[in-house]
Chains A and B, each alone.
Chain A
Amino acid sequence: MGETIAFLVFAGIALGAAVAVVAMRNLVHAALMLVIHLLAVAGLYLGLESQFLAVIQVLVYAGAIVVLFLFVIMLLGVDRDDLLVAQGRRAVAGAVAVGLVLAGALTFAFVGPYTGEASVCGSDVAPTGTEQSCAGIAPVLDADDDAGVAFLGRRLFTRYTLAFELSAVLLTVATIGAVVLARRRDLSPEDEDLPTGEVTA
Chain B
Amino acid sequence: MSDLQPGQLAPELLATAAALVLLLLAVSRRRPQLVMLPVGLGSIALGAWMVLGGAVVPGAVVGLLGVAAPLLPVLLPGRPTLQQAWGGGLALAGALVLTGWQLAVALGDGGALGVTGWRGSIAVDGLAGFTRITVYLSALLVIPMGYGYLQERRINRAEVEPLILLAAVGMALLGAANDLVTIVVALEVLSFALYVLAGLARRDRRSQESSLKYFVSGAVASAVLLYGMALLYLATGSLELPAIGAALGSVLVPAALVAVALVLVAVGVAFKVALAPFHLWAPDVYQGAPTSVTALMAAATKAAAFALLLRMALVAFPALGDVWAPALAVLAAASMLYGAVAALVQADLKRILAYSSVTHAGYAAIGVVARSTDGLGATMTYLLTYAVGSLAAFGVVIAVERRRRGEVTLATIRGLGRTSPLLAGILALALLSLAGIPLTAGFVGKLEVFRAGVAAGWTWLVVIGVLSSVVAAGFYLRIAGVMFLEEAPDAAPATGDADEDGDDEDARLPVLSTGLSAATALSAALVLVVGLQPALLLELAAQASVLVR
Q: Is B381 an interface residue (CB 8 A)?
A: no
Q: Is A198 an interface residue (CB 8 A)?
A: yes
Interface size class of B (residues with CB under 8 A): 35 or more
Q: In whole Å, how far is A168's beta carbon from the nearest beta carbon of chain B?
A: 9
Report chain B residues within 8 Å CB of A161. Answer: 4, 118-119, 121
**Cα distance, A182 to B210, chains bound together (Å):** 17
Q: How far apart sit A200 and B33, CA to CA, in the bound complex (Å)? A: 8
Q: Are A191 and B182 in contact (CB under 8 A)?
A: no
Contacts of A191 in B (CB 8 A): 78-82, 151
- Given known contacts A162-B121, A163-B121, A167-B185, A189 and B169 CB-to-CB distance under 8 angstroms: no
Of all chain A residues, the one with the shortest Cβ separation from B203 is A186
Q: Please measure, in the bound complex, the distance between the C-alpha atom of A159 and the C-alpha atom of B1, giving whole angstroms.
A: 9
From B77, B193, B202, A196 is in contact (CB under 8 Å) with B77
A190: interface (CB < 8 Å): yes
Q: A163-B181, A166-B173 given as contacts; is B77 within 8 A of A199 (CB)?
A: yes
CA distance A162 to B176 in the complex (A): 12
What is the bound-complex CA distance between A173 and B160, given in angstroms? 11
- Given A181-B196, A200-B77, answer yes or no on A169-B203 (Cβ-Cβ < 8 Å): no
Q: In this complex, what residue of B is CB-closest to A190?
A: B80
CB distance from B231 to the nearest CB of A (A): 15
Complex Cα distance, B447 from A105, in Å, reads: 53
* Docked-complex contact B193 and A180, CB < 8 angstroms: no
Cβ of B407 under 8 Å from chain A: no
Q: Does A121 contact B (CB under 8 A)?
A: no
**A188 close to B118 (CB less than 8 A):** no
How many residue pairs bridge A and B at CB < 8 Å?
A: 111
Q: Is the CB of B118 within 8 A of A172?
A: no
CA distance A158 to B1 in the complex (A): 10
Choice from B20, B30, B121 contacting A199 with Cβ under 8 Å = B30
Q: Which of these, B30, B154, B192, contacts A173 with CB under 8 Å? A: B192
Could you tell me which residues of chain B, from 1 to 36, have a CB within 8 Å of some CB in chain A?
1, 4, 9, 16, 19-20, 23, 29-32
Q: Across the interface, do B162 and A159 meet the contact criterion of CB distance under 8 Å? A: no
* Contact across chains for A194 and B78 when beta carbons are under 8 A apart: yes
CB distance A169 to B79 under 8 Å? no
Whether the pair B32, A172 counts as a contact (CB closer than 8 A) is: no
**Inter-chain contact A170/B189, CB cutoff 8 Å:** yes
- B151's nearest neighbour on chain A, judged by CB, is A189
Closest residue of B by beta carbon distance from A160: B181
Q: Is there an interface contact between B195 and A177, defined as CB atoms closer than 8 Å?
A: yes
Which of B81, B151, B182 interacts with A163 by CB under 8 Å? B182
Query: How far, in whole Å, are A169 and B185 apart by their CA atoms in the complex?
Result: 9
Q: Tell me if A189 and B156 are in contact (CB < 8 A).
A: yes
Number of residues from A at the complex interface, CB < 8 A: 31
Query: Is A176 part of the binding interface, using a Cβ–Cβ cutoff of 8 Å?
Result: yes
Task: Please give the distance in Å from A4's CB to the nearest CB on chain B.
Answer: 31
Instruction: Tell me, in angstroms, the Cα distance from A162 to B182 when the chains sit together.
Output: 7
Indicate if the CB atoms of A180 and B188 lie closer than 8 Å.
no
Interface residues of B in 113-140 (CB under 8 A from A): 118-122
Is B73 interfacial (CB 8 A cutoff)?
Answer: yes
Q: Is B518 an interface residue (CB 8 A)?
A: no
Chain B residue numbers with a CB within 8 Å of A194 are 29-30, 78, 80
B359, chain A: closest CB distance, angstroms: 30
Question: Taking A162-B182, A186-B203 as contacts, is the C-beta distance between A170 and B188 under 8 angstroms?
Answer: yes
Given A176-B162, A186-B202, A187-B157, do A169 and B196 touch, yes or no (CB 8 Å)? Answer: no
Which residues on B sit within 8 Å (CB–CB) of A190? 29, 80-81, 158
Chain A residues contacting B61 (CB-CB under 8 Å) are none
Measured in the bound complex, the distance between the Cα atoms of B159 and A183 in whole Å is 12
Min CB gap B86→A, angstroms = 13
Residues of A within 8 Å of B529, CB to CB, are none
B82 smallest CB distance to A (angstroms): 7
CB distance from B205 to the nearest CB of A (A): 14
Bound Cα distance from A156 to B527, whole angstroms = 44
Apart from A181-B202, A189-B81: 19 A-B pairs, beta carbons within 8 A = A163-B181, A163-B185, A169-B166, A169-B170, A170-B188, A172-B20, A173-B163, A177-B195, A181-B196, A181-B199, A186-B154, A186-B203, A187-B157, A189-B157, A190-B158, A191-B80, A191-B151, A200-B74, A200-B77
Q: List 17 A-B contacts (CB under 8 A).
A: A161-B4, A161-B121, A162-B9, A162-B122, A163-B179, A169-B169, A170-B189, A173-B166, A176-B23, A181-B199, A186-B154, A189-B81, A190-B29, A191-B80, A194-B29, A199-B30, A200-B73
Question: What are the 8 closest A-B residue pairs judged by CB atoms, nearest first?
Answer: A177-B196, A162-B121, A163-B181, A196-B78, A162-B118, A173-B192, A166-B185, A199-B77
